[in-house]
Amino acid sequence: MNESFMKEKPVFQLIVSMSLPMVISMLVNSLYNIVDSLFVARISEDAMTALSLVFPIQNFINAVGIGFGIGINAVIALNLGAGKPEKADAAASCGMFLSVLHGLFMTVAGIAVMPRFLMTFTSSEAVIDLGLRYSVIAFSFTIIITLGMSFEKLFQSVGRMKITMASLMCGCVANIVLDPMLIFGIGPFPELGIEGAALATGIGQSISLIIYLTVYFVYPIPVKIKRKALIPDKSCALRLYAVGIPAILNIALPSVLISSLNAILAPYSEVYILILGIYYKLQTFLYLPANGLVQGMRPIIGYNYGAGEYRRVRKIYDIVLIMSASIMAFGTLICIIIPGPLMSLFTSNPETIKNGETALRMISLGFIVSSVTVASSGALEGLGKGLPSLIVSLFRYIIIIIPAAFILCRIFGPVGVWNAFWITEIITAAVSFAAFKRSVKTAKAH
């Protein structure tokens, strides 16, 4: 099967055809994130706080799976664009083997670290107990997560976006359906409480992986996982990690950020930790669809870059940037107009809702400009430029926002943390755009 359509089809149509399935699946994934949290919030506010505290470690596990998958995706797409299918096969095979090793290690480490991690941010025995009960089950599915993410990026690298859409949607829908049944004991299921939420998530992830495996063996794709290439070749592994490690760090850095902001907000009240957790659930409705655009862009921009089509590379970037900005503009309006009803989805506490309204309005001021960073980072990853992408993420999640939040919090109280978000987005947008322009200019020069 031929992937030359990636450099022949009109750019806008190509982006829509590649990105739309992923945007739809990301919207369903966003719905799952919201629904999952809504059901957990119905258990108790302590359960929602526990979920917020576990989130950074969950995000790190997902970051390793997605980030290394991006490395697999980029190396495959670049090799296909350069006409080297055997190297694309080697990247897929080596990548799958390493994904299993990553999952095994994180299963053990994640379960072991959670008690101490939770006690760092709360002294509530109820919250700690709920967090441990949720995380032990959730982290038991880590190998399934890392393998599923790798297969997702494998199919995306050859343009099979509808398969990844179907797999992700089936997993998310199963999760949404199972959540109330397992949490509250509906029908034949026992009432499992917060453990039910974790189990529903794990079952949904398992269904997605089963679909990927079934399709891979029944319907052939151009890239093959070969037994003889499973054991990592040094040069292949180094190339995967050269893109994968920066991508992992890019996605994992929000975990560092959230934990740091939790530590800054904790002395004031656990209400602010809950607000931060609710915000990160709500923002998935914007950033996951934007990420869907980026997922559609990565293989296209990587293929065209590998084929030397630099004019198309720039056009692909421009169109994705405009589409991302449109999504963010919609999110800004919603957060400014109805922040109260959004917060009341997760809590009935008047104090939490009032402070949450202020947080959403302030944070949303940076949404539109953040589309520059989202598009630029995704483009850099697709071009195989892992280090510049990592530098952009360091600015966005560590270098600017944590010191700004710490300083502004000392001056204005918790409100200072919310202002640190939009300040950071403006600075990071400038850095990311400059990094992308330099990467394309350097490629042209060579």
What are the pLDDT digits (tens) for 204-250?
999 999 999 999 999 888 888 888 767 777 888 888 888 888 778 87
Angle at 205 between CA 115 and CA 25, to 5 degrees: 120
Specify the pLDDT at position 446. 55
In the chain, where the domains are located: 8-445
- What letter does residue 220 receive in the DSSP assignment? -
Place of tokens 């151009």: 222
Place of tokens 């862009």: 297
Specify the pLDDT at position 445. 55
- Say how many C-beta atoms besides its own lie within 10 A of residue 204's C-beta: 24
CA dihedral sign, ordered 375, 380, 381, 387? negative
What are the pLDDT digits (tens) for 256-267?
898 899 999 988
Specify the pLDDT at position 123. 86
CA 198 to chain centre: 18
Angle at 285 between CA 282 and CA 287, to 5 degrees: 105
Angle at 72 between CA 387 and CA 388, to 5 degrees: 10
CB 49 within 8 A of CB 327: no
- Give CA–CA dist 16/154, Å, rounded: 19
- Say how many C-beta atoms besides its own lie within 10 A of residue 443's C-beta: 14
- Give CA–CA dist 1/244, Å, rounded: 26
CA dihedral sign, ordered 192, 198, 204, 206? negative
- In the numeric block, which tokens belong to residue 101? 């090793």
414 SS3 class:
coil
pTM of the model: 0.72
- What letter does residue 191 receive in the DSSP assignment? -
Q: If the chain, 446 residues long, is cut into consecutive pieces of 10 residues, what is the mean pLDDT of each piece?
A: 67 86 77 80 88 87 88 85 84 91 95 93 91 95 94 86 88 91 92 94 94 92 83 83 82 86 90 90 87 86 82 90 95 95 90 94 96 93 82 92 96 95 97 89 62
- Give CA–CA dist 56/241, Å, rounded: 22
133 SS3 class:
helix
CB 395 within 8 A of CB 428: yes
Specify the pLDDT at position 1. 44
For 297, residues 6+ apart whose C-beta sits below 8 A from its C-beta are 15, 18, 19, 316, 317, 320, 375, 378, 379, 382
Specify the pLDDT at position 7. 72
Give alpha helix (H) positions in 219-309: 234-265, 270-282, 284-306
- What letter represents residue 219's amino acid? Y
